[in-house]
Amino acid sequence: MLPSAGALRPLGLDQVRLSGGFWGERQERNANATIPHAHEWLDKTGWLGNFRLAAAGELAPHRRRGREFSDSEVYKLAEAMAWENGRGGSAPIDELSTVVAAAQEPGGYLNTVFGRPGQEPRYSDLVWGHELYCYGHLIQAGVARLRTGVEDALTATAIRAADHVCVEFGAAGRQTLCGHPEIEMALVELYRVTGSSRYLDQARLFVDRRGQATLPDIELGRTYYQDDIPIRERTAFAGHAVRALYLASGAVDVAVETGDDKLLAAVVRQWERTVATRTYLTGGMGSRHEGEAFGDDFELPADRAYVETCAAVASVMLSWRLLLATGEARFADLAERTLYNVVATSTSLDGRAFFYANPLQQRSAGSALDPTKPWPRATSSERAPWRDVSCCPTNVARTLASLGGYVATADHHGLQLHQYAGGTVRDGETELAVTTDYPWQGSVVVRVDRTGERPWRLSLRVPAWAGEATLVTPEGVERVGPGYAVVSRTWRPGDQVRLELPVAPRWTAADPRIDAVRGCVAVERGPLVYCAESVDHDSVLALDVVNVDRSAPVTERPLPALGRDVVALDIPAPTTAAAGNGWPYGSINAEESEPGNLTLVPYHLWANRGPVTMRVWLPLDRR
């Protein structure tokens, strides 16, 4: 069952197929490298083994491995496998489903941390225990299986767990909630795929309970888990970024399914202010390491940016929901920015190492990480093969496996393309073939391969960054602005439309209220943010004293070391040293500037050539 309301209707993985190009290649790498890699590490760390021990009745506290939320990583991997198999892959999900199902207890309870001899009682630590959060990911894995036409041990396990939650936390049950939102959107998705209204009712209960000071105050404050203010009264996203964005996603789902326009409008207002004042150039969210949280308005330091990968995944999920509800291009614009510049950044070129945090400046190159051991910290100057907290690899894996579902939609007027990737799009009697080298080139060609006799509309998104684009149709050529370029006609097989987006490099300045990067500029090309890496320059210190001139020419060139189609940029950039003499303050002598050249690479590819320093925001030459 699809969303019951909204401007647009999503298409399933059987209707949108990606092939080759930027995202098609990443989907294949996800299938062939990332999913098997995550499976291997879940076994190696014992996180999957927890379920085997639980099923055998041998899960003594000293034998359990992983953090209190590690069950969720198994479920996210199962969801990634479900989506991957739904698009034609062969991930070993049956084995995973059997292991998980065997650990479920009578009545539907399932968690490897609580409830057994020697463990704390069930639901005794809702602030930090993550039990309902883990259920959310289990349910989403079950929903992915159902949406791809499969009923198995995993779907049965997920439904039993959801039924258990409705009994335990329903109107007559425990009047409380989980410290980490997630289950809200999972329950709505289960309602949509099963038609059982009890899941929607429970999701609405959880959304309405949030912000009522139900959970205890903590050192980080109730804002940390969004229990300080009801979501209808909040003006911007605050607290732990992933929690805030998951909660907002669940609230949009509840609003759409219950016809609660005021709740939807409240989330839109929060999104608007957050995008205007608390979002990085990359689309990343979360500026504080403490609490992995949003900062105040315009608190967006480049070198201290946290920008958790999971927050980027959550932001894309929220943008997608708001796009479906409203049909407004701005939500697809942010999803594109976040996908290319945070989600794509997280994973290494071989698909087997990952960033947790995504700063916009790296001051220290650090050293290479041991590929055989989990990395204990969220931050590092290189991607880690695994971490003690490895929520991000499985989150990216499920996102990439399901990415075809974020590309196109339909309504009663026709089809809409929101993200550009090579492949096919099918809805009813209509089938399109999309050919593009985007984002490296700006040309997107859409060919109608099959269609009926009735006229319909083809809508192509023109990103806000483009300013203006060229649209070539069977009727002629026209200039189109940001939003959607719409072609309405009676189509015939073989008809083509071409959208030409201007992907030339452009200089970008920040709002002056973002103090951390005042006096700096960045370079973008198409949807990609660029950065400088020390590996391309004579000294690792060069990036600390470099200056750029916005009037200087920007030259494009290929960089095959980072990929077949990758475009690098070269710009003149003098360096200026401060006269310090052992003291880091003093006058700047412009005459001491030395000429130089700066090479910029797409930010999503940084740190693929060993430990480096890096920066996105470049100081302007003020001479």
Residue given tokens 């014992």 in the structure block: 46
- Residue 482: CB atoms within 10 Å: 17
DSSP assigned state of 473:
E
- 361, two tokens: 């400046």
Q: Is the pLDDT of residue 339 over 90?
A: yes
- In this structure, the strands spanning 469-473 and 496-500 are antiparallel
pLDDT, mean over the chain: 95
Pairing of strands 528-533, 520-525: antiparallel
Token pair for residue 587?
Answer: 């006058």
Q: What is the pLDDT of residues 130-142, one digit of tens each?
A: 999 999 999 999 9
Residue 591: is its pLDDT beyond 60? no
Between CA 252 and CA 73 the distance in angstroms is 24
8: how many CB neighbours lie within 10 A of its CB?
Answer: 21
pLDDT over threshold 90, residue 544: no
pLDDT for residue 588: 65
Question: What percent of the chain has a predicted confidence (pLDDT) above 90?
Answer: 91
| Per-residue model confidence as pLDDT tens digits over 277-319 | 999 999 999 999 999 999 999 999 999 999 999 999 999 999 9
pLDDT for 559 equals 96
Instruction: Give yes or no for residue 539 having a pLDDT over 90.
Output: no
Distance between CA atoms of residues 475 and 490, nearest Å: 12
CA-closest candidate to residue 286, choices 358, 346, 192, 190 = 358
Residue whose tokens read 């970008």: 508
Q: Does residue 379 carry a pLDDT above 90?
A: no
- Rounded distance, CA 287 to CA 278, Å? 8
Q: Tell me what the mean pLDDT of segment 408-412 comes to.
A: 97
Report the chain's terminal Cα–Cα distance, integer Å: 62
pLDDT in tens, 423-476: 999 999 999 999 999 999 999 999 999 999 999 999 999 999 999 999 999 999
Pairing of strands 414-417, 456-462: parallel
- What does DSSP assign to residue 105? P
Per-residue pLDDT, 580: 62
pLDDT exceeds cutoff 80 at 602: yes
CA distance 34 to 396: 9
Distance of CA 11 to the CA centre of its chain: 19
The predicted structure's pLDDT at residue 174 = 97
At residue 345, what are phi and psi to the nearest 5 degrees? Answer: -70, -35
Q: Residue 579: what pLDDT?
A: 59
Q: For residues 88 and 17, what is the distance between their CA atoms, to the nearest angstrom?
A: 10
C-alpha distance from residue 48 to each of 35, 73, 96, 317 (Å): 14, 9, 9, 26
* Mean pLDDT (whole number) for 14-19: 97
**How many Å apart are CA 278 and CA 360, to the nearest integer?**
14
- Domain residues of the chain, as ranges? 408-500, 506-619
Tell whether the model's pLDDT for residue 594 goes beyond 80: no
**Are the CB atoms for 385 and 352 separated by under 8 Å?**
yes
Residues 108 and 139: their CA atoms lie apart, in Å, by 12
Give me the pLDDT at residue 593, please: 72
Given this model, what pLDDT does residue 540 score? 57
What's the pLDDT tens digit per position in 181-201? 999 999 999 999 999 999 999
pLDDT digits (tens, 9 = 90+) for 352-371: 999 999 999 999 998 889 99
**Residue 565: is its pLDDT beyond 80?**
yes
Closest of 156, 189, 19, 8 to residue 87, by C-alpha = 19
The length of the chain, given as a count of residues: 623
- Looking at residue 12, its pLDDT comes to 95
**H or E segment and range at residue 446:** strand 443-450
Fold of 408-500: Immunoglobulin-like (2.60.40)
Residue 595's pLDDT is what?
79
Model pLDDT for residues 465-517, shown as the tens digit of each residue = 999 999 999 999 999 999 999 999 999 999 999 999 999 999 999 999 999 99
Residue 623 pLDDT greater than 70, yes or no? no
Is residue 592 over pLDDT 70? no
Tell me the pLDDT band of 589, cut-offs 50, 70 and 90.
low
Q: State residue 367's pLDDT score.
A: 86
